Homo-oligomer: A and B are copies of this chain.
Amino acid sequence: MDENQKEILKVSIFKHLDSGALKKISAGASSSMHSKGKILFIHGDEAQRFYFIKSGWVKLFRETLDGAQAIVDILPKGYIFGETSIFEDSIYPYSAEVVEPSEIISFSLKNLKSEIAENNQLALSMLSAMARYRRQQDQEIEHRSIQNAPQRLGCFLLRLANQDEVGVVKIHLPYDKTLIASRLGMQPETFSRALSKLKAQTGIRVQGATIEMDSLDSLVRYSCSACSSEFPCKDLHAAE
């Protein structure tokens, strides 16, 4: 458990916790490996634990009776999820599925809840994380209503790119193209065509899951013109 404790220390909302508080929250924590496709919980389940992604990727989604699926978010390592259920009705507001082999640590929500009630610093950290996430969602809603498919894809790529890199920029897509498509709210076919269009319009070079370009400029020009924030977006790496 020592290992886990060190790990969660890195997450923003636990950053300022002293070891006593950390110990209380970690009580009963358990770590396990999950393979692609593992469902961690379903929208509507009673929420008893929250989760930390030590490695891998997790998809949060909601689906309708007739099977249509809306991706709420796809989270990388370092993020936590399922923690908002300590407020209100204590059911999960989405389903969670592992989309790449992942190591996930789960924690008791009850412990978190009681610690938050006593520890104002933790409450403040959590408030700050929530505010940041809320902005990301505002941005997401904006993108979906203003940007078209190729622009959304371009924006997604820009967020993956390391903007400090000099010379040729290399991006590796972190998961399946089909999954990126649904993350961006479009069909796989639309994604594929959007990528072709980006190739033609911005000169990016695509080789499987690897994308190269001489500079980010043309992508920025193509995508960020249909966005209210200017590049580089402030919300990058929002969970760190």
Contact = CB atoms under 8 A, between A and B. Distances in A.
Contacts of A94: 138
Contacts of A126: 127
Contact of A134 (B66, B133, B226): B133
Name A's interface SS: helix
A63 interface: yes
Contact of A144 (B124, B127, B132, B141): B141
Interface in A59-76: 62-66, 68, 70-72
Given A138-B72, A145-B144, A84 B123 contact: no
B137 A64 contact: no
A146 interface: yes
A141 B137 contact: yes
B134 A130 contact: yes
A134 B132 contact: no
Interface of A: 43, 62-66, 68, 70-72, 84, 86-89, 93-94, 116-118, 120, 123-124, 126-128, 130-135, 137-138, 140-142, 144-146, 185, 225-228, 234
Given A84-B135, A117-B124, 18 more contacts: A62-B138, A64-B146, A64-B225, A64-B227, A66-B226, A68-B226, A70-B141, A70-B142, A70-B145, A71-B145, A84-B134, A87-B127, A87-B131, A88-B132, A116-B124, A127-B130, A130-B131, A137-B138
